[in-house]
Amino acid sequence: MSAIDDFRQETRAWLEANCPLSLRTPTPEGELVWGGSKVEFPGEDQRLWFERMRDKGWFCPDWPVEYGGGGLSPEQVAVLESELRRLKCRPAQINLGIWMLGPVLLEFGSEEQKRALLTPMARGEIRWCQGFSEPNAGSDLASLKTSARDEGDHFVVNGTKIWTSYGDKSDWMYALVRTDPHAPKHLGISLIVLDMRSPGISVSPIDLISGKSAFCQVFFDNVKVPKSQLIGPLNGGWTLGKSLLQHERKAMSKFGETSLPNHFHLLPLVERYLPEPRSVADQALRARALACAMDEHAYALTVQRMGEEARSGQDISGLMAIMKLVHSEQDRDKFEILLDALGYHALGWEGDAFSGEELAITKAWLNGFALTIAGGASEVQLNVIAKRVLGLPDAK
């Protein structure tokens, strides 16, 4: 038997013994465990699973052992992931730092930064948030204005970041800031990390059209940030930021594959609310629902194909570039159809005139509008496909 087969056997046995039975199911809404100093566990099993994975170094299985990782080879990580999938294990924690900042620190961070930041990250002790977008820098992220002024041994940060998920609950932030206001816009940006308890930081949550949300706006008023917290070269932040976003997409596609339950099944719902189509209009609605479900099927097959192509060493950058666009737009289409099928039942805001499921569908429909905007609006995704994948020329 080869070494990788041995590893599979050991991993399977360890997971069987250590992943609590109750956590081998899809994660219900609101039961995700977010690491950090204020970590909360919905139950004892979640705490056990968190601690066991942490002590094994498997929050970051591919990181070097010296920084708190599991030290696994890419092949072993693939085995671990497939065994986690096989047992349907819930993620032991969700941690933006590990997914996004960690890989960038490993590549660009100084030895000192790696030791200081990666180890607590790998132990799930710090909850990270992201400071990228600003009120006037959305799709055109490089026009960001939040400034970090050089004051000798430290920077002084002023400005504001918006759409920061869980800004109010996070311990640290990684942020893109302007360090050279005179350079061309892409060349004056740096990546820094900062403690959210620093004096001068204030956070206000944002209500969306769907109601309460995780999004916050963060304000910086003369916030002191030591220079040791600059990641990578001064004014070299744009490249690092792009790399971070690539890790985000990779993590999101993995996350989407394994742990997000599909809450609302389109066709059974349409059937329930439109049991006997009596008009051409009803038939047309059912046809729309069917076409939407078929497109979802084709998307799921594309996720599978992308995995197989990656494992066989093919270039999957083209497929990666379409995933977010397709998934968010399909979801939006799906909820539009549900809204039409449920009619008045999908127009409730709260109260017992509507079922819990109906209210949830309405919220999910409203929330879907954020999904085709956040993380790169659909139009930005189309630009990326046109230019980077298809090689179409830039406008003059």
Partner 1 sequence: MSLIFNQEQRLLADTAREFLAARSPVAAQRRLRDEGAPLGFDAALWGEIVGLGWSAIPFPEDFGGLDFGCQSLGPLFEQIGRNLSASPLLSSVVLAGSLLQLAGSAAQQERWLPALIGGDKRLALAIDEGGRHDPLATELHAERCESGWRLSGAKLFVVDGVQADGYLVVARTAGQKGEAAGLSLLLVEAGTPGLTVRPAALIDSRNCARLQFDGVLVGADALVGEADGALAVLETALDRGRVCLASELLGAAETLFATTLDYLKTRVQFDAPIGSFQALQHRAARLYVELALARSAVMAGLAALDDASLSAAERARLASLAKWKAGQAADKVSNEAVQMHGGIGVTDELDVGLYLKRIRVAQACLGDADYHCQRYGVLLSTKA
Give the binding site for partner 1 (CB under 8 A): 267, 286-287, 290-291, 293-295, 297-299, 301-302, 304-305, 308-309, 312, 314, 318-319, 322, 325-326, 379, 381-383, 385-387, 389-396
Of 20, 12, 128, 129, the residue nearest 76 (C-alpha): 12
Alpha carbon 52 to its chain's center = 23
Q: What is the nearest approach in angstroms of partner 1 to the Cβ of residue 293?
A: 8
Q: Are strands 230-231 and 215-226 parallel, antiparallel or unpaired?
A: unpaired
Name the helix (H) or strand (E) containing 91.
none
Query: Which DSSP letter does residue 27 get?
Result: P
Active-site residue flag, 248: yes
DSSP 100: I
Q: Which two tokens stand for residue 330?
A: 């399909």
Nearer to partner 1 by C-beta: 41 or 264?
A: 264
Q: What gap in Å lies between CA 265 and CA 338, rounded to an integer?
A: 10
Between 183 and 301, name the residue whose CB sits nearer to partner 1. Answer: 301
Alpha helices by DSSP H, the chain: 3-18, 44-56, 74-86, 96, 102-108, 111-113, 119-122, 237-258, 266-273, 280-311, 317-342, 356-371, 378-384
Catalytic residue among 134, 248, 296, 358: 248
**CB nearer to partner 1: pick between 47 and 288:** 288
d(CA 376, CA 138): 8
**What's the CA angle centered on 132, arms 126 and 138, to 5 degrees?**
150
The residue among 156 and 371 lying less far from partner 1, judged by its C-beta, is 371
Nearer residue to partner 1 within complex by CB, 373 or 389: 389
Q: How, if at all, do strands 189-195 and 172-178 pair?
A: antiparallel
Q: Hey, what are 273's tokens?
A: 């609310």
To partner 1, the closest distance from the beta carbon of 200 in angstroms equals 40
Nearest to 157 by CA among 142, 176, 143: 176
Strand pairing partners for 94? 34
Q: Just list the catalytic residues.
A: 248
